[in-house]
Amino acid sequence: MEDAEMFSVDNLIALAVEYYDIIVTWLQTNLFTIESITQLAVVGVLFVLSYMANRSLSPFLDKVFGDRVFYQRIEKTAKAMYLPIIWWLLVFTAWQVAEQLNTPIIFLRMAWTLISLWIAINLFTNMIESQTISRAVRIVLWTGAILNIFGLLTPFLNLLSETTFTFGTTTISILGIITGIATMVVLIYAALFVSGIIDAKLRDAPTVTPSARVLLSKLSRIVLVVLAFLFAISSMGIDLTALAVFGGAIGVGLGFGLQKVVSNFISGVILLLDKSIKPGDVIEISGTYGRINKLAARYTSVISRDGREHLVPNEDIITQPVINWTFSDKKVRRHLPVNVAYSSDLDQVMALMMEAAIETPRVIKNPEPRVLIKGFGDNGVDLELRMWIRDSENGVTNIASDVYLAIWNKFNAAGVEFPFPQRDVHIVSSKGLSDAKEILE
């Protein structure tokens, strides 16, 4: 009841009138004077000079430092800081000169303070990648700074603190909600930053396997983000035990509505734990052949030889047959069938096939290639060249093409004949033709 009376329409109107009178009195006392207008004019002129200097300075610095890697990294932030820094220096100089001449400096000092805030806010918000969050943070900081300048920040915070909402046994103020959201944003960004550092350290650790690296990176990120969320909720004054029912509802929703998402997530964790695949492996699944680029929470990124990136759901890798060409050993053996005519010298043919394989750069020498006689076909002798390669990520079909081309050239140079289907046609006698004609008639 007391809260209702405190925030009745009449009280709010009276409070607004009181703040209005304070603002008008301050403006009449401090702003509408010759000294104040003169200082504001000086600040405006200095802004125009800063703007003109900035237009000349930016191209000059781009020309001098444009090819420097360090400048390229900070170019966006630096260009946003040229104007306020030049303006800040000029206003500070005017402030010092006016102070030496014993003239009023209140607005020069106020302008210098605001420009300092502009520089600090720009530096802080430019580090935030999200434009939406950066803009929201900039609005909040500027609002607080302006209220503080006019002496209204404390009353405004008291108003937000006294405006409360009750949920069951929990009472939350607007100030608590704003503080909790701000805390959550800051802590989540801090958690992501720390997880990025952990991920970088894991990438540099030679003793950590790729699967363990991905698993530890993802677990650290999840744990840090969850802790940041819980701490932010606690800072609002919400009892964490109240989240038990909410967590149960989320569990039911996940069970019924997000079955595939949860299944893919759990499958991804299993893949990381059993180390059946890892980043860098060359796999083949459902006709897709390529190198694993990334193990994500929901999918596995496989880049094929033609540059296409296939996002294969983790559940499919668990439930479908997968050929991992580099699971336990990066060496891969290729089988190339070759057919030669019966009139060929098999010793010479087998030697030429061995030479073709050995002379191909990607074929490894140990174990050495081998040529086997597989059988005697209808048209020729069936041979098979077996050879090993160590870089299956560079393709297993193109190496077969290279070896076949070398075999073709060597066979043609040595006169080895490639067989082709042949049929014998027997022409029957004229008597037989007459008999056949009588039968047909």
Q: How far apart are CA 49 and CA 34, in angstroms?
A: 23
Q: Flag the least confident range among 171-185, 328-342, 361-375.
A: 171-185
Q: Tell me, what's the pLDDT at 405?
A: 92
Q: Tell me, what's the pLDDT at 408?
A: 92
Give the domain ranges of the chain: 2-171, 172-257, 266-324, 332-414
Q: Tell me, what's the pLDDT at 35?
A: 72
pLDDT category at 7 given cuts 50, 70, 90 is very low
> How many CB atoms are closer than 10 A to CB 156?
15
- Over residues 227-251, mean pLDDT: 66
pLDDT tens per residue, range 292-305: 887 777 788 888 87
pLDDT category at 12 given cuts 50, 70, 90 is low
Three-state secondary structure call for residue 308: coil
Q: Average pLDDT over the chain, rounded to whole?
A: 76
User: Which letter does DSSP use for residue 13 in this model?
Assistant: H
User: Which letter does DSSP use for residue 394 in this model?
Assistant: G
Please give the order of strands across the beta sheet that includes 299-304.
Answer: 309-313, 299-304, 288-295, 282-285, 323-324
> How many CB atoms are closer than 10 A to CB 16?
10
pLDDT tens per residue, range 80-128: 777 888 888 888 888 888 888 777 777 778 788 888 888 887 777 776 6
Tokens standing for 434?
Answer: 């007459």
Q: How far apart are CA 227 and CA 324, in angstroms?
A: 37
Q: How far apart are CA 317 and CA 285, in angstroms?
A: 8
Q: Tell me, what's the pLDDT at 188?
A: 78
pLDDT category at 404 given cuts 50, 70, 90 is very high
Q: What is the CATH class of 172-257?
A: mainly alpha
Q: Tell me, what's the pLDDT at 6?
A: 46
Q: How far apart are CA 113 and CA 137, in angstroms?
A: 19
- CATH assignment of 266-324, given 3.10.450.50, 1.10.3470.10, 3.20.20.140, 2.30.30.60? 2.30.30.60
138 backbone φψ class: left, alpha, beta (φ>0; ψ -120 to 50): alpha
Whether the per-residue pLDDT at 321 is higher than 50: the answer is: yes
pTM over 0.85: no
The residue assigned the tokens 């006294």 is: 162
191 and 232 in contact (C-beta within 8 Å)?
A: no
Residues forming a β-bridge with 333: 388
166 and 148 in contact (C-beta within 8 Å)?
A: no
Q: Tell me, what's the pLDDT at 337?
A: 92
Whether the per-residue pLDDT at 361 is higher than 60: the answer is: yes
Ordered DSSP codes for 143-167: HHHHHHHTT-HHHHHHHHHH-EEEE
Instruction: Tell me whether domains 266-324 and 332-414 share a fold.
Output: no
Q: Flag the least confident range among 190-199, 219-228, 418-427.
A: 418-427
Q: Flag the least confident range among 192-201, 229-238, 287-296.
A: 229-238
> How many CB atoms are closer than 10 A to CB 413?
9
Q: How far apart are CA 396 and CA 305, in angstroms?
A: 10
The residue assigned the tokens 């929990």 is: 170
For domain 332-414, the CATH architecture is: 2-Layer Sandwich (3.30)
Whether the per-residue pLDDT at 206 is higher than 80: the answer is: no
